[in-house]
Amino acid sequence: MNNVELAWVIILSVGFLVLIVLSIILVSLMIGVMRSVRRISQRAEEATANISELAALVGKKVAPFAMSAAMAAAMRRFRGKKE
């Protein structure tokens, strides 16, 4: 192997080593980002579930008032026609 071939082998080996190190760093960063995304998505799911439960609870509590208001409006309209 002459000097030129040896130089190319060294340059390519160093380049390959740099790419491997960079890929390892990139993969570790991506794993960290994916863990953060997973935590955020779990919190968003929990918040959505809480909001859904709250909406159901409010719906149960407001439904009688809405029904009574609708019946009162119907009664006013019905009384207005008789008079």
- Residue range 59-76, pLDDT digits in tens: 888 778 777 888 888 888
Q: Is the pLDDT of residue 81 over 90?
A: no
Which residues touch 33 (CB under 8 Å, ≥6 apart)? none
pTM reported for the whole predicted model = 0.55
- In single-letter form, the type of residue at position 26 comes to L
C-alpha to C-alpha distance for 42 and 48, rounded to whole angstroms = 10
pLDDT given at position 63: 78
The residue count for the chain: 83
Quick: pLDDT tens for 42-59. 999 999 988 988 888 888
